[in-house]
Amino acid sequence: MDELIDRVWNKVMESLSTQADRIVDYAGNVIVFAVLFVFAYVIGWIISKILHKLLMFERLEDFVVKYGAMRSKLWEGTINFLVLYTKWFVVVGVLTLSDIPLITYKIYPFMNQLFGFIILVILGLIMGGFISKFVRDLSMDFGWEDKLVKYGLADALGDIPITGFLTSMVKWYVVLIFVAQGVDLFENLPVLAEFMNGLMGYIPQAILGGLIMVVALLIADYTGDQIKTKKVGFSETLALFAETVIVFLGLVIALPHFGVHDISVLKDSFLIIVAGISLAIAIAFGLGLKDSVNRLAKRYEEKL
């Protein structure tokens, strides 16, 4: 009986000793992690403060704002976000010394990829701002807006400021280029990377299609105005017919650039519409000139 009690007692004490060792080890790991976290936070805080001082340098901000990269508030907000993320990125980087698998193999690699993505997006915003300002200044020097007003073409685009539209398009296309490069950094997101690559291949073609439509609208508006200034009968009808034909031709040329390649139905419909309008104009001219033709025929008969 005593032997059984001793055996049970030894097992209980052995179990308690094992649990105590685990608790001591766990407590030790918690203490080491806490000390490492405090150290990492201090390092991250110091680096973030230095980075904030460097990036919020007054001359650098003036340069970025002056050359159109960002507005002052946007620059300040971007820097604050970058500094905050950098601090925690450093903290997590130092915590990888703890050899915790979740931090070392999951969290830190993802934050590393995300950090690269953030840097590329910020660079894209800066470069897009610089290039769009250059395009805007070049457009203003060339006088696009004044020339459109001078030749009466501003209404062809619905009074949309072409300079603002062009600069915005250039800026965000440059930003998307950097975003696409940033998405490639995420190794576990191949679908998103494939989507961005496809989008970057589509956008230039869509821009080209848009430019074709803009040119077609301008030519149609100018042609219609020129026809209306002529003192001939049916000038309004002829102007409308010419504008419709030109815009439709522009649409037929532009649609493939938007990914619409099968436009055979559109072409056939266009031919039918043109034939119908041509026939209507011919009949209208015939009826309108009937009396004049009769008078000329009588005069010719009298001479004979």
* Residues 191-211 pLDDT 10s: 777 777 777 777 788 888 888
Cα–chain-centroid distance for residue 147?
29
Spatial neighbors of 21 by CB under 8 A, at least 6 apart, are none
Q: Is 224 helix (H, G, I), strand (E, B) or coil?
A: helix
In this predicted structure, the answer to whether residue 119 has a pLDDT above a threshold of 80 is: yes
In this predicted structure, what is the pLDDT of residue 153? 55
Q: How far is residue 173's CA from residue 176's CA, in Å, rounded to a whole number?
A: 5
Taking the C-alpha atoms of residue 175 and residue 120, their distance in angstroms, rounded to an integer, is 9
Specify whether the CB–CB gap between 60 and 126 falls below 8 A.
Answer: no
Window from 108-112, 140-144, 154-158 with minimum mean pLDDT: 154-158
Average pLDDT over residues 128-143: 79
pTM above 0.75, yes or no: no
Q: Crossing angle of helices 235-254/264-288, nearest 10°?
A: 170
Report the alpha-carbon angle 138-141-142, nearest 5: 85
157 has pLDDT over 80: no
What CA–CA distance (Å, rounded) separates 49 from 26?
A: 34
Q: pLDDT value at position 115?
A: 93
**What percent of the chain is modeled with pLDDT above 70?**
67
Q: Is the pLDDT of residue 46 over 80?
A: yes
CB 177 within 8 A of CB 124: yes
Q: What is the mean pLDDT of residues 88-106?
A: 87
In contact, 139 and 163? CB cutoff 8 Å: yes
Q: How many CA atoms lie within 13 A of 272 on its CB side?
A: 6
Is it the case that residue 10 has pLDDT exceeding 90?
no
The answer to whether residue 221 scores a pLDDT higher than 70 is yes
All residues at 6 or more sequence positions from 220 whose CB lies less than 8 Å from its CB, including other chains:
156, 242, 243, 244, 246, 247, 250
Residue 184 pLDDT: 86
Helix (H, G, I), strand (E, B), or coil: what is residue 69? coil
Determine which of 61-70, 74-83, 164-173, 245-254 has the lowest per-residue pLDDT on average. 61-70
- Please report the pLDDT score of residue 225 as a whole number: 76
Mean pLDDT score, 260-289 = 66
Q: What is the mean pLDDT of residues 145-149?
A: 62
Q: Give the whole-angstrom CA distance, residue 154 versus residue 157.
A: 6
* 233-251: pLDDT as tens digits: 566 777 777 887 888 888 8
Higher pLDDT, 176 or 165: 176
Q: Say if residue 43's pLDDT is above 90.
A: yes
Kindly indicate the confidence band of residue 87, based on its pLDDT and cuts at 50, 70 and 90: very high
pLDDT of residue 286: 58
Task: Give the highest mean pLDDT range of 42-51, 239-248, 259-268, 270-279.
Answer: 42-51
DSSP string, 36-57: HHHHHHHHHHHHHHHHHHHHT-
Amino acid type, 7: R
Most confident of 113-127, 147-161, 229-243: 113-127
Inter-axis angle of helices 162-183 and 108-142, nearest 10: 160
Whether 106 has a pLDDT exceeding 70, the answer reads: yes
Please, what is the average pLDDT of the chain?
76
Confidence of residue 18 (pLDDT cuts 50, 70, 90): low
Give pLDDT, residue 89.
93
Mean of pLDDT values over 253-280? 72
pLDDT of 132 reads 84
Distances (CA, A) of 163 to 55, 106, 299: 31, 46, 60
